[in-house]
Amino acid sequence: MISKAQLAGMIDHTLLRADAREHDIVRLCEEAVKYRFAAVCVNPYFIRLASKMLMGTDQKKCTVIGFPLGATLTKAKVSEAVKALELGADEIDMVICIPALKDRNIVYLEKDIAKVVKALDGAAVLKVIIEACYLTDEEKIIACEISKKAGADFVKTSTGFGSGGARTEDVKLMRMVVGKEMGVKASGGIRTLDTALEMIDAGASRLGTSSGIKILTEYDERSK
């Protein structure tokens, strides 16, 4: 089993609830530092606060764009990404345009992602959320191939707001398609240590979860 430090360093400590408030984000950031999580993941409204809270720490600030449906126009996604950078974001989780994927509008999909990549210009990591619960295996493969071709850094299973979350079979498929060159983030429904370890064994290099502390507590209990 991987070490506790390695596990913590793969977790994006996440709070994307619609009713989250400033004191919740302050606590999230304090927990991320205490437990040495990889990043906090918050809605764009809270990026400025997260950046202030995490200044001088090793924890990254992650936010979401085109969230949670992915059908936002490319221009809006680019604008969101640029503004997030200005406010201190280190990582951007962008939802793929699911309708375009379903319609096999490959040219639009690639441009949608590539324009965000260009706007970030290497200043932030880009993760493309494919929302696997709505896709056939063929569509998952297409989404991963396009994300890789367009220059994204990661593909991610889910927003956590869809009809289903991360599944090990999806993580395995995504890892097979993108190879070792890209990251794979499993997100959605990861609430236990066993699930987290299953996702990592399947090929996930990052985990998005609001249950990171619970997972690490389980790790400690199992290690006794």
The pLDDT assigned to 111 comes to 98
Active site residues: 93, 156, 185
User: Percent of the chain, pLDDT > 70?
Assistant: 100
CA separation for the pair 92, 63 (Å, rounded): 5
Q: Which of 218, 155, 159 is nearest to 41 (CA)?
A: 159
Answer yes or no: is pLDDT of 75 > 90: yes
The pLDDT assigned to 69 comes to 96
Mean pLDDT of 10-25: 98
Mean pLDDT of 16-30: 98
Confidence of residue 91 (pLDDT cuts 50, 70, 90): very high
CATH fold of 4-223: TIM Barrel (3.20.20)
Within 10 angstroms of residue 104's Cβ, the number of other Cβ atoms is 12
The pLDDT assigned to 76 comes to 98
The pLDDT assigned to 127 comes to 98
Answer yes or no: is pLDDT of 202 > 90: yes
Within 10 angstroms of residue 54's Cβ, the number of other Cβ atoms is 21
**How far is it between the farthest Cα atoms of the chain?**
53
**Digit-coded pLDDT (tens) for 123-180:** 999 999 999 999 999 999 999 999 999 999 999 999 999 999 999 999 999 999 999 9
pTM for this one?
0.97
**Digit-coded pLDDT (tens) for 102-133:** 999 999 999 999 999 999 999 999 999 999 99
Mean pLDDT of 42-68: 98
Answer yes or no: is pLDDT of 224 > 90: no
**Digit-coded pLDDT (tens) for 188-199:** 999 999 999 999
Residue 53 near residue 61, CB atoms below 8 Å: no
Mean per-residue pLDDT of the chain = 98
Kindly report the backbone phi and psi dihedral angles of residue 72, in degrees, each rounded to the nearest multiple of 5, phi listed first: -65, 145
Mean pLDDT of 48-74: 98
Answer yes or no: is pLDDT of 1 > 90: no
